[in-house]
Amino acid sequence: MIRLIRDRGWKSSGIARQEWPWLFGAIAFGGILGPLLLMVGLSHTSASTASLFLNLESVLTAALAWLVFKESTDRRIVLGMALIVLGGAVLAWPSGETIASGIGPLALAGACLAWAIDNNLTRKVSASDALFIAGSKGLVAGCVNTVLGLALGASWPALPMLSSALLIGFFGYGLSLVLFVLALRELGTARTGAYFSTAPFVGATIAIAVFGEATSMAFWMAMGLMSVGVWLHLTERHAHEHTHVELFHGHAHRHDEHHLHVHDFEWDGVEPHSHAHKHAKIKHEHAHFPDVHHPHSHS
């Protein structure tokens, strides 16, 4: 709906024909398989244990990005990633709890793997309209989760609770997913996953500051670990001579050194603007992230 209002009607998503399989795959893994496995896991595991296992998502996201999709990294980024994830694990670690069944953890690990695949596939289409991507994934995931809940015996909530849930979903899933896609576009999958792992700490901080919840040793340990991890990422400077291969895609852009193309339509000079365009092969050196314009390998 927001996209329709923004564009004053229906507008093409900008996703190229060869990119649609990536989006369909992301929806299948992230919107269908992931929630299904999560429901199975939660039915056999406590919430505290589940929150700990869900830290696997960022680990698997980074592992797939580095090992399968060949996203560039270095020791600094790997160490920062490890510290951030470790901080999340410390914050979510269940106290005095034993796991009675292996089904729950296996299902949760499977859900994390499904979402890790989803994240890496979404990265492939992240140059396109983030609102369209988030809306498509949210529509499917919302329908799947609703059907799962009803199938397991849940009933429709009262209107006030439903309104609250929709509001939380708008910010926690809708807006969050749009920003996540934009981060995938600009930072790459592994780094985005690492920053996303700070969510438990941010949530705990809000609970302490707004609701007056007591702090714990685990909170301060998590803060220290995550702070160092984020600092390692933020102070990264990755620069070297690299070659851009020819690339054809569409997204909002300004005419910087990566967008020196001509237009086959009358352009009013307004920037940024969005259209399908071709990147010529160029070779240069500057600081960069493994974003959509820098998918090159390293020797």
In a shared domain, residues 231 and 257: no
Print pLDDT tens along the chain (299 aa): 666 566 655 666 667 788 899 999 999 999 889 988 988 888 887 766 677 677 788 888 988 998 898 888 778 888 988 888 888 778 767 665 555 567 888 888 899 999 999 999 999 998 888 888 888 888 888 888 888 788 878 888 899 998 998 898 888 888 999 999 999 988 888 888 888 878 777 777 887 888 887 777 887 888 888 888 888 877 877 666 767 777 777 767 777 777 777 787 777 777 777 777 777 777 777 676 677 776 766 66
Indicate whether 139 and 259 sit together in one domain: no
Closest CA to 14 of 289, 282, 276, 299: 276
CB 76 within 8 A of CB 142: no
Structural domain boundaries enclosing 228:
2-236
Assess whether 132 and 27 both reside in one domain.
yes
- pLDDT for position 201: 73
Residues 172 and 42 in one domain: yes
Residue after which a domain boundary falls, among 186, 218, 236: 236
pTM over 0.85: no
42 shares its domain with 182: yes
Query: Assign residue 233 a region: left if phi > 0, alpha if psi is -120 to 50, beta otherwise?
Result: alpha
Between strands 239-244 and 282-287, the pairing is antiparallel
Q: What confidence score (pLDDT) does residue 296 get?
A: 63
Query: What pLDDT was estimated at residue 241?
Result: 75
Do 260 and 165 share a structural domain?
no
List of residues 6+ apart from 225 with CB closer than 8 A: 83, 84, 86, 87, 90
Does residue 229 sit in the same domain as residue 292? no
Q: Judge whether 119 and 61 are in contact, CB under 8 Å.
A: yes
Q: Nearest Cα to 80, choosing from 289, 227, 273, 181?
A: 227
- Check whether residue 246 and residue 199 sit in a common domain: no
> Is residue 294 located within the same domain as residue 225?
no
Give me the number of domains the chain comprises: 2
Residues 232 and 250 in one domain: no
Residues 172 and 214 placed together within one structural domain of the fold: yes
Same domain, 259 and 118: no
Question: Hey, what are 225's tokens?
Answer: 């670990």
Cα separation of the two ends of the chain: 46
How far apart are alpha carbons 146 and 207 in whole angstroms?
28
